[in-house]
């Protein structure tokens, strides 16, 4: 089942429908489960009528009004209304007839917006997964991050940020069992969607970390070359940074070959969409400071994927990078 958190609050259907019957909740979940839709708003009136706003995978809004027939809250007359004003009424719908509800909804998505079932359920090749385990001791617990998978470099920072949001959600924490469990996580504009998934695939974490190392090195080098923008003392400090970071990048390259049998291509180590120090209107030291944060985030995200002997080396790197960042702050 797809679940969402938003602004530190679980935004999945179970929370929205907390005052509505469990049967209704399960049926609505089944109704939209074959699409990329999610329930955004639910309101129940005193007479049992339920108003619902659903966001489709194509970012359209469908309003649904469920009017109960009788007192058992199992049969409803349902009116669906598109954001273009189209309406579709279905009478005497049995709320526990999941197949009927699912067909009605998916047919309407196709008819109104051209979002056919095949299109809405098509899985993107881009995905992120995390494997987690809860370790309970007396009244306390710890959440262990066991493994991380990102299919592309550009998902690394959004995944790290989404994981941080999930770790602040009490309901998400409650769902983590004591055995290794994998969740696919999809960061969205104002929320994070997550769902249980198969076990994590393997990805070359050293290549992904290397992309952020090279991005940082390139930005520092650009700052050094901008002689009018930095002082001689600052140039010396930045050159020291780049020497240490270049040693780390070389080691990441050798680890990629050693662990994954992949030789890194420096020309291919890029982070699309990241800001550079020469971006118009950007303060270069601010950008470099942000580069440090993203490099650290990438290292810490993939830390569980690494063998223990490599983690010892990475611990030293983390201290070094934090010292560099602290030095930058003091300038």
Burial 163-174 (b: 16+ CB within 10 A, else e): bebbeebeebee
Position with higher pLDDT, 198 vs 189: 198
Residues 6+ apart with CB under 8 A from 69: 75, 76, 77, 92
Q: Encode pLDDT of 165-190 as tens digits.
A: 888 888 788 889 999 999 998 877 66
Position with higher pLDDT, 5 vs 132: 132
Looking at residue 252, its pLDDT comes to 97
Average pLDDT over residues 75-100: 85
**Looking at the whole model, is its pTM more than 0.85?**
no
- Judged against a pLDDT cut of 70, whether residue 116 lies above it is answered with no
Q: Encode pLDDT of 18-72 as tens digits.
A: 445 555 666 776 677 666 788 778 888 888 888 888 888 788 899 999 898 888 7
Going along the chain from its start, the domains and CATH numbers come out as 3-121 (no CATH), 128-197 (no CATH), 205-330 (1.20.1260.10)
Average pLDDT over residues 204-215: 95
């Amino acid at each position: 089942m797809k679940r969402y958190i938003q602004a530190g609050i679980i935004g999945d259907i179970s929370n929205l429908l907390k005052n509505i019957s469990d049967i209704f909740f399960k049926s609505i979940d089944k109704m939209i489960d074959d699409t990329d839709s999610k329930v955004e708003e639910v309101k129940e009136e005193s007479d049992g009528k339920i108003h619902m706003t659903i966001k489709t995978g194509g970012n359209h809004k469908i309003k649904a009004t469920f009017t109960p027939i009788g007192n058992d809250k199992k049969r409803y007359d349902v009116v669906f209304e598109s954001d273009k004003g189209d309406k579709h009424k279905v009478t005497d719908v049995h709320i526990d007839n999941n197949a009927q509800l699912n067909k009605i909804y998916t047919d309407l998505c196709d008819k109104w917006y051209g979002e056919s079932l095949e299109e809405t359920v098509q899985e993107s090749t881009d995905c992120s997964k995390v494997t987690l385990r809860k370790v309970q001791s007396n009244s306390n617990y710890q959440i262990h991050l066991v493994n991380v998978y990102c299919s592309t470099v550009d998902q690394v920072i959004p995944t790290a940020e989404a994981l941080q949001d999930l770790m602040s959600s009490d309901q998400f924490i409650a769902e983590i069992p004591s055995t290794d469990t994998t969740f696919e996580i999809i960061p969205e504009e104002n929320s994070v969607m997550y769902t249980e998934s198969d076990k994590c695939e393997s990805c070359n974490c050293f290549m992904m970390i290397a992309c952020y190392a090279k991005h940082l090195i390139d930005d520092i080098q650009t700052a050094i070359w901008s002689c009018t923008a930095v002082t001689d003392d600052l140039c010396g400090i930045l050159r020291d940074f780049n020497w240490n970071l270049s040693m780390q990048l070389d080691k990441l390259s050798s680890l990629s070959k050693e662990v994954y049998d992949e030789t890194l291509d420096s020309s291919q180590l890029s982070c699309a969409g990241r800001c550079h120090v020469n971006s118009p209107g950007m303060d270069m030291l601010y950008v470099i400071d942000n580069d440090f944060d993203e490099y650290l985030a990438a290292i810490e995200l993939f830390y569980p994927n690494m063998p223990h002997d490599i983690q010892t080396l990475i611990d030293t790197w983390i201290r070094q990078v934090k010292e560099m960042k602290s030095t930058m702050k003091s300038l």
